[in-house]
Every structure is written in structure tokens, then in C-alpha cells.
Structure 1
Amino acid sequence: MANGAARFGAGPKTVGGTLVAAANLHGEAPALVFDGVRSNWRDLLAEVREMARRLVGAGVARGEHIGVLMPNCRDYVVLYYATQLVGARAVLLNSRYRPDDLAYVIPKADIDVLFVGGHAREHCDYRPMLEEALPGIAQALPLAGAPRLRSIYELGDTREGPWPQLAELDERAAGISPDEVDRRAAEVEPDDVGLMIFSSGTTSRPKACMLTHRSLTDSGEALAERFRLGPEDVVWDPLPLFHMSTILPLAACRAAGACFIGMSHFDADGAMDLLIRERPTVHYAGFPTIVGALVQHPRFPEYDQSRLRINHVVGPPDLLRRYAASFPGAVPVNSYGLTEATGVVCYSPLDDPPELLFETNGRVFDGTGVSIRDAGNRELPDGEPGEICLSGFQIFAGYYEDEDANRKAVDDAGRLHTGDLGRIGPGGRLVYEGRLKDMLKIGGENVAAVEIEGFLMRHPAIAMAQVVGVPDERLMEVAAAFIECAPGETVAEAEVIRHCLGQIASYKIPRYVRFVSDWPMSATKIQKFVLRRDFVPTGRIDLAAFRAAEDAG
């Protein structure tokens, strides 16, 4: 056990406190495998404390908002933990955001200091995006469009550029003693907000969900208990670090002393190499697109699954049964959750019989309440569908600076109204049946239809746009855009896609475009259910092929 970790006074119900506890209890055990680098718990804590010194040296104060705009990488994990140690709020920005998205979220979240990652700049260079989103950002701060943003730092970028990099952070850290980091960590309270993640609602723009150290810690402990994690476990999770689908498993690994294996980005070849080499005990792949890529890979038969005991993937029952056959020694675990409830509120119990594993989303954690309610907020009996409402320790601390949205989301009894349709099924398990809200869930990302519609209608030739979610084998759901041109105007499908490319996140770009002149109407509203019902899945747009053709000129 490292003496420094033993003296470190971080609270037990804080993110930093659980990291310290893991270092104390499991110091030499593997903690993190990322970017080809392995760390044990003791060394990971030491690296996080060093990054925390840099943050303090850069003037980061308790409660300040630290934006993280980086691809998946080891630096991301270290930076996230360091923000939590010093009592700042980590604002994790979707790495697929584009200029239009960034121009909104950076000022909306009142980001004080922004960290930008150049680790994947050959695929995604944030420098020009930020300049387009907030003109002048490379010259001087603050800006009228982002008045709280006072500094930007780049990590993982060897090019000369407009913003200071790691060397300057090291200079700033030189005058900060480790004791100062310890003091700052000891001041963090469990009910302090530690994390802000944007989640789309029914309005035109995403909202910043605030999560406390306590909810993050307790939810991680609940996941570790449900999965029966221990120091011998190795959790493979290739999902984005800006999402609760990694933040929650990281919390569970801290609680149990398990090892977390991440990926800079998912690709089937790299994933198969990693799985064959590391032989994890838990797959936290989450989505059918990832699991499907694995089982169809030519090297899949080489994968020794003898240590694999849990395969977490969500999807319809028939698909879960198919994947279960490909991982015969692992329990197929389903789940349900949302960012506003600290990621996930229920997983399948490992001892459930097959009919419950495949047909339900699992049992909610102890301490989390679930009720199914009708439009009048009256509780419905088991088996009857209605809105899923949640209560208890996992409920978020609210949307940042959006009291109107908070009042709509959480009722006077403290119940979170999810906008999702579900029922209480056999064995008291929750069954998710779709969305009440006009939302899409694309590759695991919540997207408001109105957000895409609003962007499409910025095109001068588009008078009206309506977006619905339609099934997709790879992403589970994608956007289909129905477009009415302005009088006297025409626009081609390719022009619609060009309008979106590079301006909004790629997963938001419609994969189907339909042109209409008449809309199915009720008395006053377009009937989207008719658009969805009558949709025929022909002419899917291959975005990668479209980009390649555009680049070829």
C-alpha cells in the first residue's frame, strides 16, 4: 500500500475517495488498460494526483466547470479523475460534436477551462471546429459568446498551436505541493456536483445533466454488487468516455478493484486482438452494432471465452437470444437507464432464468424506486404500460440553469418522469417498450427530433422538416427526414447531406431523406406516427461512401 494513498483524506462517498480506497486496498492489482499502457491502482492514483496538481496550478477552483473535448484515450480517464479530486465539475463533451453543437454547449455549460485532445487529429481536428464555432477563440479569451471561458489547454497534440499544452501545465504545477491536492480532495462533499453530461430532451437543444459524487459512487457500488465484481475481474468497455456507459463501469471498477479496459475507438479488428489477448471476464459492449461486429469477425473462433461470465448488451429479445448463443458461457445481461438517473437503474440479475433475461430489462437497484404512471400521474398496476417514473438515490441533481426543464422532469413527489414507455413485468422486472417523447436513440445516443429538424430548416430551400426514428441493423435506430421544399425551390438528397456534414454530429445526420408536398395531419399537428408507419426502408444513405465520393470530387 502506498503511504501517500493511505494519508490521502478524500471522502468515501466521492469519486476521488473511491479511487483512493481502491489504491489502498488493491494497490498492485491492475486498474486500467488503455492505449497500450497498463497501470495498477497505486500508479494510477499517483498519475491522477499529478494531473490534479496541474489543475490547481492552472487556477482551477472548487466548483468550476472543466470542459473535456477529447477522443477516447488514457489522458481522458486521468483528467476526469483529477477534476473530481480537486472538486471541479467535469463537463464531458461529446467527441462527435461539430461546430454548431460546440457553439451551443460551451457557453450553455459555462465552461471555465477547456481541455482539447489532439490524440486523433488525423480523423477529428478540434482546432478549426472551435474557431468556426466561436470565432476568435484562438486569439483571445474570454469571448462575448463564451464569457466564462478563460483558458484552453491541449493534450496529445505535438503541433504548435494557439493554446498551451502539457509543458505549461507542468510549469504551473511546479509551485503546487501534493499536500494542497490532498487538502482540496478532503473538501469535496458527497453531494457536490462532480459531473455534467449533455442529454437531449424534447426541446431543440440538449440539456446539461448534473450528477453528484454520491450518486456516481452509490450507482457504481450497485453495479459492482449486481455484477458480483471483484479484483479478479477484467471489464472490457469500448464505449465513449463522454457517456455514462463508461463512467458508470469505471465507478464499479473502483468499488470492486476490478480492471477497466477501454479503447480509443471501436473497430472489430482491434477489438478482436484485444479480447484474444486480455480475455476479459465482463463485456460491457452495450449495443448490438458492436456485438454483431465481433461475432461476424473471422477471428471470433480464436477467442477463448473461458473466463467470460457476463455479456452486457441491450436489444429486442430475439436478437439477445441470438447473441447469447455466440457467448454460451456468459450470462446475457440487459438493462435500462438514462443520464438523468446516473446512467442505468436496472440490470438483469445474474441468476434470472432465460425468459427473464431475454424478455425484461432487469430489476432496479435497491434504493431506486420505479412506478408506471398514466398521463394523470396515477400509478398503474403491474403489466399495464405507462410512463416509467423513477425515484431514489440515482436521480440527478437537475439540469444546469434550466428550472423550467427541472419542473417538467421531476414532480413534487421527487419522481423523475423519464418520458419512456414501460411496464412492470414478470418477477417485478422492468420492461422498456419505447419512448413517449419525440426522441431518437441512435447508437445509444439520445437525440431530439426537433434538434435535427431545426438544423435542416436552416437550409434556405427547406420550408418544413420532420424527423422520425426508423429501425437500423447497425445503429438500432437512425433518423429519417421528411422534407417539404420552399415554394419555387428544389433541393436534392445529396445537398441535404452536404448541409449536415461537418456541422452536426455524424450520428444525427439522416440516413433516409424523403420529399413530400402533403403532410398527414390531425386538426393542427403533423401525425408523425403515420410517417413512421408508412415508411419503407429503401435508399439508405451510406455516410462513409458519401464522404468518400465527395472527397474524390
Structure 2
Amino acid sequence: MTDQSIYRRFQQSARIHADRIAIRTSSGDLSYSGLESASRDLGRALLALGIERGDRIAIWGVNSAQWTVAALGIQAAGGTLVPIGTRLRGREAEGILNDAGARIVFCDEQFGSFNFVEALLERNIPTLETIVILDGGSASEGKVISLDALRSKAAAVSEEALDQRIAQAAGDDIVDIIFTSGTTGKPKGVPMTSAQSLFACDVQRDEIAFLTPDDIFAVTYPFAHNAGYRAGWQVSVLNGVRVIPVSTFEPTDLLHMIEAEKLTFMPLAPPIAQAIIDHPDRSKIDLSSVRLVATGGTTIPVRQVEELRDVFGAGTVVQTGYGLTETAGSVTTTLPGDAPEIVARTVGRALKSLDVKIVGPDHQELPVGEVGEIAVRGPQVLKGYYKNPEATAAAFTADGFFLTGDAGWVDEHGNYSITDRIKDMYLVGGFNCYPAEIEGMIQGLPGVARVAVIGVDDQRLGQVGRAFIVKSPNADLTEESVIAWCRKEMANYKVPRSVRFIDALPLNATGKVAKVELRAMD
């Protein structure tokens, strides 16, 4: 039987690929043997602090080699990793840390103008004993210590003691708890076992990314989110892939990184993909090493898929898919060879390991082509929210399917389309309106670079649509011209009654439009 310990599986990979580069950063390379050694040092240091199996330890920092070392060190010590997104601020982090009962937080000292350490010290987190600065020097003060100071504690614990802790790891251990974004309410903790995490990583390798040790993977999604963590650096280090952490996005730097590092796999949120397409120096740079571009997370136009294939070469696969924190990653994916229309307008077919269906309000399966809620069941689906029995009870059908909260439909070929979040749907005079469907149509209007649609209150109809549009350069669009175009292209109840032009859509850390921010705009 395959070992179901996440850390022991990493150790196997580290031994096979010992001299290969595991992580490359601007400050130097870390080999697989070096990554294992560094993570073991941190594991021993955590044991010296009294960490027991299952203790929750958080990481709040940007993508970096230290982030990965800390995560592996936590797993070596038998702890449970709690990643926190860097876009969150003190009050939000406080809520997650208190819900998780975290004893330790690894964090950057500062990123931009935001000071993570100060934000933590200002909050009331009774369980928090130690703050470890990932990117700091050797100074220590009170509960705040540097990474070097933590490492120095490893000397008090033998290698044999750590080996004993690693040997105790089991497939049903909770190895991480990722908290949902909280876009529709308070964030909920999603615990994943070691066995589930490994299963999800294997699916990512075999059915989605087709990773081999020859791959060089620039992880542009945040390490604190499933796309950058389990489907990013974790699946990579389990399989001998070279990881390049990307903490900030600058189109010129990313283009030159592709050429210099011979990147093979690029996950790109649609706005980042478009920035590369539009870059004035793009044609001067060799991008031929890229074999797979994964994009998605929001509506993308067919022309962007076609342009990406032109930019990276006809042999490059452009892929979209659909996944959730609650499913440890992907639920569906498009496949190599899919037409641009399939890639842009659907999220592909269900993974082989999952049962997926569309259900109505009574949880009964709906026919092909009919819109309902996407429900999923399988080995990588969460078993229940962390210490939240009420949310758990509401999230599952009687036959064990997880209710995703996403509205969608499936065609006769098994391709799923996401119409929107169930809670983002709005009613116009009694008709259901799904913003993603309307956005997809407006995306076809020349001059529209990006679009997002929300429902706003209306005295006569209950709600009506409002479109937020980012114009393409030199586009000559007005509110009147957009509405007039929509009246020709879609049913009257779907036509937005107002249009707002903005410089950029607000995005969350994984590139999805933050509609809660749009709703706060006038």
C-alpha cells in the first residue's frame, strides 16, 4: 500500500531527486536534499517548543522558499498547517487563528506598507505563543523570534526523536486547515487529511498538470490558497519538479523569467494572461519552453484562449478547470485538444475520481442542460468543516454529495459550465439571472477588456443587473452604447440597467472578482 504520510512521501521524493533543484529564488537554489534537511531542522525546533501531533501552526506570508520549508517542518513535526492569505488583515487573521486555536504563526515581518508582526501583536489571540519572522534577522523579543533563533532550538532535539514523530504520522492525520474566503459569510475551516491531500496531489499530477521531474513550475498563485499550495508547490516537491515562487506580478519580469528559466508550466489568472498577451516586448522573448498554461477562476473570452495559443505556440495546452477548497483542488478540467470554445465557455469534464451532478432545490439530479447546483462526492472531498457541525450538516445531501454553492449545468458531452454562485444569482421580475452568463455575452462586445455583473435593488423589478466594465485601450464605449448592444444580444430581463466604467476589477488572491467590493461601490 502506498505510504499515506505526506511528509514521508516528500522524503521519498527528496531521496530520489536529492541533487536536483527543488526551489529556485533570486537569493539562490535549494536542492531536494537541502530542502529535506532544512525542514527537518525546523521540525526538531518545533518539537523543542513542545509542539504535539495535531497542534495548529499558521503561515502568513508571501510565496517564498522559507514558506515551503516552514510548511514541511510543520508536517515533519506532526503539526497541522493553517495557511493565511496575505490580503487578509489583522482582524481577519485574528478570527482564523482563534478558530483554529493556533499556537505558532510563521509570518513575514512586512510586505509593502503592511506589518504582519504589528498586526498580530495588536490582536487578542489567547492561544498564540510564538511569532516566527520568516524574512527577519537574528534578533528576538518576547514572543517574537527570528527564523534563525527558532532553528537554533533544534540542537535540543535529536534526529531520532524527529524520526519517531515522523513514523507516527498516519493517513487520517489532519495535515492542513484552509479557511474559505468568507465571500458569503464567516470563513469556515476546511480540514484535509494526509491521505486526502496525497490523493489530490496525485490527481493533479496525473489528470491535470501531467507533471514530471523535468518540469519547471512558476507558482504564481498564493501559497496560502489551494491553487498555490496543494496544486502548486506541494504536488511539485512530491514529484521532483523545480519550483519558482512568484510573490509579486510584473509582466516584464515574468516574461524574462519564462525565457531565462525555461518554464514549462504557468498558472495565469486571466488579467495576468492578458497583460502578457498585450506586452510590447513579448514577441522578442523566447516562450517556447511553456507546454501548459492553466487559466480560469473567472469568465475568459474565446479570443484570449486563441491569443494564448498564438503567444506560447500551437503545441501549448491552454487549460481551464473548476475546483474548491472543500475538494482539495480540482473537480473538473479541460483536456489537451479541446477547442478554444470549450476551454473558454466550460470548465471541462469531471475528474475520474469524483462523482459530479447537477441538483435542484430538492437535491434530485437535473437533466442535461438544466441549471442547478453543482454537487460532488469523492475521496478528496472534505468530511466536515472544522468545529462547525451546523455548516457541515447544511453542506451535504442525504446521499453524501457536497453542495458547492455554485450554479451550473452539464452538456451532452459531459462538459460543465459554471453560471455563478447560487448566492450571486439575482431575480429580475421573477426571472433568474446568472451574472457569469451575462458577463460571458458582454465579453464579446468589442472594447470590453473585463466585465463583472451584479444585481442591485430596483423598486419595480426587485433587482436589475449592473455591469462593471474595464475598457480596452482606446475603446469608445458609453453606458448607452453598452446597454443598446445588450438589448440586441440577450433577453430583456438579462440586460444590465446601468454600467460603471472602472480602471480595474477588484480581485481576490486567486484572481476571482471580489463582488463584495463591487456591491460596496455606488
State the distance in 1 between where 2:330 and 2:401 align: 16
* Corresponding residue SS for 1:345: strand
State the distance in 2 between where 1:217 and 1:542 align: 35
**Aligned equivalent of 2:176:** 195
The reply to whether residue 257 of structure 1 matches residue 237 of structure 2 is no
Among 6, 9, 14, the alignment partner of 2:5 is 14
Structure 1 residues 289 and 341: CA distance shift in structure 2, 3 A: same
**Aligned equivalent of 1:147:** 126
Among 34, 53, 66, the alignment partner of 2:57 is 66
**Residues 205-220 of structure 1 mapped to structure 2, 5 A cutoff:** 205-220=186-201
Among 15, 19, 32, the alignment partner of 1:24 is 15
RMSD (Å), alpha carbons: 3.0
Tell me, yes or no, if the aligned pair for 1:235 and 1:281 is still in contact at 8 Å. yes
Structure 1 residues 167 and 235: CA distance shift in structure 2, 3 A: closer
Tell me, yes or no, if the aligned pair for 1:224 and 1:255 is still in contact at 8 Å. no
Q: Deviation of residue 253 (structure 1)?
A: 1.8
Tell me, yes or no, if the aligned pair for 2:453 and 2:466 is still in contact at 8 Å. no
Structure 1 residues 348 and 475: CA distance shift in structure 2, 3 A: same
Tell me, yes or no, if the aligned pair for 2:68 and 2:233 is still in contact at 8 Å. no
**Aligned equivalent of 2:458:** 520
Q: Deviation of residue 35 (structure 1)?
A: 4.1
Tell me, yes or no, if the aligned pair for 1:58 and 1:173 is still in contact at 8 Å. no
Q: Deviation of residue 430 (structure 1)?
A: 2.1
Q: Deviation of residue 397 (structure 1)?
A: 3.2
Q: 2:130 is aligned with what amino acid?
A: S
Among 129, 132, 139, the alignment partner of 2:119 is 129
Q: 2:21 is aligned with what amino acid?
A: P
Structure 1 residues 155 and 267: CA distance shift in structure 2, 3 A: same
Tell me, yes or no, if the aligned pair for 2:326 and 2:381 is still in contact at 8 Å. yes
Among 174, 186, 189, the alignment partner of 2:155 is 174
Q: Deviation of residue 402 (structure 1)?
A: 1.0
Q: 1:29 is aligned with what amino acid?
A: R
* Corresponding residue SS for 1:42: helix
The reply to whether residue 302 of structure 1 matches residue 265 of structure 2 is no
The reply to whether residue 423 of structure 1 matches residue 423 of structure 2 is no
Q: 1:324 is aligned with what amino acid?
A: R
The reply to whether residue 535 of structure 1 matches residue 501 of structure 2 is no
**Aligned equivalent of 2:514:** none
**Residues 347-366 of structure 1 mapped to structure 2, 5 A cutoff:** 347-366=333-352
State the distance in 1 between where 2:399 and 2:21 align: 43
Structure 1 residues 326 and 149: CA distance shift in structure 2, 3 A: same
**Aligned equivalent of 2:48:** 57
Structure 1 residues 348 and 373: CA distance shift in structure 2, 3 A: same
Among 217, 238, 255, the alignment partner of 1:272 is 255
Deviations 1:409-441 (A, max 9, x none): 12232211001111222432222222112499x
Tell me, yes or no, if the aligned pair for 1:221 and 1:251 is still in contact at 8 Å. no
State the distance in 1 between where 2:140 and 2:154 align: 21
Instruction: Percent identity, please.
Output: 24
Structure 1 residues 160 and 188: CA distance shift in structure 2, 3 A: closer
Q: 2:498 is aligned with what amino acid?
A: F
Q: Deviation of residue 237 (structure 1)?
A: 1.7
Among 318, 322, 339, the alignment partner of 2:307 is 322
* Corresponding residue SS for 1:421: strand
Tell me, yes or no, if the aligned pair for 1:373 and 1:380 is still in contact at 8 Å. yes
Q: Deviation of residue 384 (structure 1)?
A: 2.0
> Relative to structure 2, which stretch is displaced further, 424-433 or 71-80?
424-433
**Aligned equivalent of 1:157:** 136
Q: Deviation of residue 34 (structure 1)?
A: 3.0
State the distance in 2 between where 1:94 and 1:475 align: 27
Structure 1 residues 438 and 180: CA distance shift in structure 2, 3 A: farther
Structure 1 residues 254 and 334: CA distance shift in structure 2, 3 A: same
**Aligned equivalent of 2:103:** 112
Q: Deviation of residue 64 (structure 1)?
A: 0.5
Which runs of no fewer than 5 residues in structure 1 stay unpaired?
A: 1-9, 135-144, 441-467, 483-518, 544-553
State the distance in 2 between where 1:178 and 1:475 align: 56
- TM-score, normalisation: structure 2: 0.80
Which runs of no fewer than 5 residues in structure 2 stay unpaired?
A: 427-434, 468-495, 507-522
- TM-score, normalisation: structure 1: 0.76
Deviations 1:136-176 (A, max 9, x none): xxxxxxxxx43322222222123765512234313321111
Tell me, yes or no, if the aligned pair for 1:32 and 1:259 is still in contact at 8 Å. yes
Q: Deviation of residue 383 (structure 1)?
A: 2.4
Structure 1 residues 107 and 521: CA distance shift in structure 2, 3 A: farther
**Aligned equivalent of 2:211:** 229
Deviations 1:473-515 (A, max 9, x none): 9996779897xxxxxxxxxxxxxxxxxxxxxxxxxxxxxxxxx
State the distance in 1 between where 2:362 and 2:254 align: 47
**Aligned equivalent of 1:515:** none
State the distance in 2 between where 1:127 and 1:372 align: 45
> Relative to structure 2, which stretch is displaced further, 334-343 or 376-385?
376-385
Tell me, yes or no, if the aligned pair for 2:41 and 2:151 is still in contact at 8 Å. no
Q: Deviation of residue 225 (structure 1)?
A: 0.9
* Corresponding residue SS for 2:50: coil
Tell me, yes or no, if the aligned pair for 2:455 and 2:465 is still in contact at 8 Å. no
Structure 1 residues 205 and 370: CA distance shift in structure 2, 3 A: same
State the distance in 1 between where 2:200 and 2:392 align: 21
Q: Deviation of residue 529 (structure 1)?
A: 4.6
Deviations 1:195-238 (A, max 9, x none): 11111357532111111211211111111112322111112221
Q: Deviation of residue 531 (structure 1)?
A: 5.4
Tell me, yes or no, if the aligned pair for 2:5 and 2:195 is still in contact at 8 Å. yes
State the distance in 2 between where 1:255 and 1:528 align: 49
State the distance in 1 between where 2:383 and 2:459 align: 39
> Relative to structure 2, which stretch is displaced further, 364-373 or 194-203?
194-203
Tell me, yes or no, if the aligned pair for 2:22 and 2:241 is still in contact at 8 Å. yes
State the distance in 2 between where 1:17 and 1:302 align: 44
The reply to whether residue 345 of structure 1 matches residue 348 of structure 2 is no
What is the aligned length? 456
Q: Deviation of residue 96 (structure 1)?
A: 1.4
Tell me, yes or no, if the aligned pair for 1:369 and 1:390 is still in contact at 8 Å. yes
Q: 2:287 is aligned with what amino acid?
A: Q
State the distance in 1 between where 2:364 and 2:404 align: 15
